[in-house]
A and B are shown apart, each in its own frame.
Chain A
Amino acid sequence: MRTSATRGLIAAVALSLSAVTASAQENPECIAPANPGGGWDFTCRQVGKVLQDLGQIDKTMQVVNLAGGGGGVAFAEVVNKRNDSDDLIVAASSATATRLAQGSYPGNTMDQVRWVASIGADYGVIAVAADSEIETLPQFLDQIKNDPTSVSIAGGSAVGGWDHLKVLIAADAYGIDDVRSVKYIAFDGGGEAVTQLLAGSVQGFTGDLSEAKGFVESGDIKVLAVLAPERLDGDFADIPTAKEQGVDALGANWRGFYAPGGSSDEAYNAWVEKIAALYASDEWKEIMAVNGLAPLGLQGAEFEEFVADSVARIQAISKEIGIIK
């Protein structure tokens, strides 16, 4: 981690350079660590398009798909081969932080790269089938507390993955001592997990709001809580947060970018500023609304701190459930 003095300096430099930086990236390139069509690919392409529309970059953002190892192939490539590239950013999300925290990128850690900014978040939800007797999050967690074997919770990520961690964070915050007893069943993606909830194979669902959106609208499932700091806008305003039900749990699946660790301060600040301008634009707000992204706009040092925090938290909880030693 850099010291707060350097952070201040970076911020100052960022401000003073603001006039020059618009052209710092001559051949902007974005690595999407997945195949075309996924979330990371979407992040790169949409951001590239909006940045160009806003005049923040002169040339079209070149999007390179570098799939493999859940983002590990791209991370290793950036650290080992592209470490001093100034033109490059890489799409990242909570999944990146989770894997870094659990050491799933062999030999790589989060401080090998520079974290640029987030562009929004998809908040976690905990839901049950519409015809379930359970109405509130505390009721649900009580049931787990009393008899953990009676409640199976389905999610779209692996054990120890983000969907699993969200429900553990909530259980932890509610005072369930042995979070290992929470029965989590991993499915291939949120859609399949919801289907199994509807089929009655499992009793609960943990996932992101965007995954649950369609099923909430059709009335098939009942969202007990959204793991956001405060209630969301629009269609989701009547979903209570976990916090207001007395469970102090936050779960944001953020999307954002990192840049190579050896990139110049000038280039890093230019990226930070471009993404900040993008985040503030109306065009981006529209894209967020269409894609179910909620606000989370952290840039530069603030974002770096946020990622470090979440990595530390995930590490702590992963140790508790025995995924890492």
Chain B
Amino acid sequence: MDTLASLGDGFAVALTWQNLGLALLGCFLGTIMGALPGLGPSNGVAILIPLAFTLGLGATPSLILLTSVYYGAMYGGRISSILLNIPGDEPAMMTCLDGHPMAKKGLAGEALSLSGIASFVGAFIATWGLIFLAPQLVKIALLFGPAEYFALFALAFMTLGGVSSTNQAKSAFAAALGIGLAMVGVDTQTGVPRFTFGEVHLYDGLDFLVAIVGLFALSEVFIFLENRHGGSEAQGKKLEIGRIYPPWSMIRQCTPTMLRTSFLGFVAGVLPGAGASLGSFISYSMEKRLVDKEGTFGTGDPRGVAAPEAGNNAAAGGALVPMLALGVPGSGTTAVLLAVLLSLNITPGPLLFSQNPDVVWGLIAALFIANFMLLAMNIPMVGLFTRVLMIPSRILMPIVAMVSFVGIYGISGSSFDLLVMIGFGVMGWLLRKFDVPLVPIILGTLLGNAMENNLRRAVTIDNGNWLTLIDSPLAIGLWLVAIVGFVLPLIVGARVKAGMRARGDEEGSTRD
């Protein structure tokens, strides 16, 4: 009952005109970001971080804005998957498999609204899951000493490659690069500056927000500049929607699918590092095995649309659980959100629930509100969002560039940071050319220091004994999950990857 009382307080925080307005804005912008191919949830949140800071928003309103964008992007990703067969973001890749065939059969409107409902169910169930699981996780958080945290971080990195990655070696390289970048700055264990070259701006390390905006937003601008000469995705394609409400029979047919995959997606999201792509992927494969008796999956089966959408939205909610309760992000986008929290001087983890309950519960209440707003927006107004696909990038990209520069300068007031951001932008552009995923870099930059510090703490506490890392049942359990998470995709992943790549995107989109 405590939980419900806290949730009530949360609604009191979230239900102000300002916060409702921000949630509405976030949902709207997020859906657009999600719908535009190439701009996924990580980019969407990254681009809007500067906006939140420039508006001078406090912690709770900023988070409400940004998590609405996050949820919104998860909804929006399906639109271009269904209409254009180009996933709006990586988790929406599986939606192409049945969504586009449905559209070809003239059922585009039904596919869009059904996937909207599936997204709602997934996100709704996951938010309840978050409410009940996060405080439980906080209680066991006291079992986490430095050794266990180190194992948890290792788990996050090892499962990151996972099934969705095209090349695990590249994920590992990206994570190593990120951890390397995290080493810049004053070492918090000894106070010795590392890799600073006497430059006082580097003493605090590289600011992750600058790195994120550079890597995600600016590199997107470079890619667009290079590849698309001012056109839009939808040029030359016909966007026919048809009726926008699905028949009841279709919803009824899909209900068990939605419920099952919501649960599965949530679990996938809670695992650190795995993220929404995994959620949508395993949801689709499980449903295919379970209900696809006639072999209709892949030819426009509505259940094939509902499954990945419920799965990826549930995973998005699940990924917030370890982020809030332990300070370890469950996916790329939650890593970006974690960076925002840290910049607002809020440290996620067990103390967050006791010290900033208004932030936590306000955020959770806002998720509910955002979810209803998104449902309302995404069914009747879906036509509006499809029109967004017609916006030529020659208009879109300068806006992204402008928001990035003004925003970062607005946060730090330092021209040095702008140079760092451009550096990261160029780096992001190069890495995308080599098809290296960017999320592990951010995760590495964000968690590298904490991971290193916990390793050193654990070893120091035990007077230099490295076996302390596998000294408790919890640590051993975490290592086992990490090893399974790393090895399993190597074995079963090859087949899976082939399937995904056959459908794959040539977008070089950011992975989540």
A residues lining the B interface (CB < 8 Å): 35, 37-38, 64-70, 72-73, 76, 102, 104-106, 149, 152, 158-161, 183, 185-189, 191-192, 195-196, 198-202, 214, 323
Enumerate chain B interface residues (CB-CB to A < 8 A): 141-146, 186-191, 193, 198, 200-201, 203-204, 343-345, 347, 349-351, 355, 412-414, 450, 453, 457, 460-461, 463
Q: Are A70 and B203 in contact, with the CB atoms below 8 A?
A: yes
Cross-chain contact B201 with A202 (CB below 8 angstroms): no
Say whether B186 contacts A70, CB under 8 Å: yes
On whether A158 and B186 interact (CB within 8 A), knowing A68-B201, A70-B204, the answer reads yes
Q: Is the CB of B204 within 8 A of A37?
A: no
A158 in contact with B187 given A68-B203, A72-B200 (CB within 8 Å): yes
* CB-based contact A188/B355 at 8 Å: no
Task: Decide yes or no: A152 and B200 within 8 Å by CB, A37-B344, A158-B190 being known contacts.
Answer: no
Chain B hits for A65, CB < 8 A:
413
Inter-chain contacts of B201 with A (CB < 8 A): 68-69, 73
Asked whether, in the complex, the Cβ of A188 is within 8 Å of the Cβ of B460, the reply is no
- For A73, give the chain B residue with the smallest CB separation: B200
| Chain B residues within an 8 Å CB radius of A73 | 200-201, 203
Q: Nearest-CB distance from B407 to chain A (Å)?
A: 15
Q: Please determine whether B143 and A35 come into contact, CB atoms closer than 8 angstroms.
A: no
- In the complex, which residues of chain A have a beta carbon less than 8 angstroms from the beta carbon of B145? 196, 199-201
B191 touches A159 (CB 8 A): yes
Q: Chain B residue with minimal CB distance to A202?
A: B461
Contact B191 A69 (CB under 8 A): no
Residues from chain A with Cβ under 8 Å of B190 in the complex: 158-160, 323
Q: How far is the CB of B473 from the nearest CB of chain A, in Å?
A: 15
Report B-chain residues with C-beta under 8 Å of the C-beta of A214.
355
Task: Check B461 against A66 for contact (C-beta < 8 Å).
Answer: no
Q: How far is the CB of B183 from chain A (nearest CB, A)?
A: 15
Q: What are 16 inter-chain pairs, A to B, with CB distance below 8 A?
A: A35-B343, A37-B344, A68-B203, A68-B204, A69-B200, A69-B203, A70-B186, A72-B203, A104-B203, A106-B200, A149-B463, A183-B460, A188-B450, A189-B347, A201-B146, A323-B191
Other-chain contact of B349, A69, A72, A106, A192 (Cβ < 8 Å): A192
Alpha-carbon distance A35/B142, docked complex (angstroms): 30
Q: A152-B461, A188-B450, A195-B142 are in contact. Are A76 and B200 (CB under 8 A)?
A: yes
**Distance of A201 Cα from B475 Cα, bound (Å):** 14
Given A102-B191, A161-B191, A185-B460, answer yes or no on A195-B204 (Cβ-Cβ < 8 Å). Answer: no
The CA of A144 and the CA of B143, in the complex, are separated in Å by 25
CA distance A214 to B193 in the complex (A): 33
Q: Which residues does chain B contribute within 8 Å of A72, judged by CB atoms?
A: 200, 203
Contacts of A35 in B (CB 8 A): 343, 345
Shortest CB-to-CB span from B286 to chain A, Å, is 37
B351 touches A195 (CB 8 A): yes
Complex Cα gap A152–B203 (Å): 27
Closest to B416 in A: A68
A67-B412, A195-B351 given as contacts; is B461 within 8 A of A201 (CB)? yes
CB distance from B348 to the nearest CB of A (A): 11
Most chain A CB atoms below 10 A, which of B141, B144, B191, B355: B191
B345–A38 CB distance below 8 A: yes
Q: Is the CB of A199 within 8 A of B344?
A: no
Given A68-B414, A185-B460, CB of A160 within 8 Å of CB of B347:
no
B457 lies within 8 A of A160 (CB) = no
Is A105 a contact partner of B350 (Cβ separation < 8 A)? no
Partner of A104 from B191, B349, B355, B460 at Cβ < 8 Å: B191
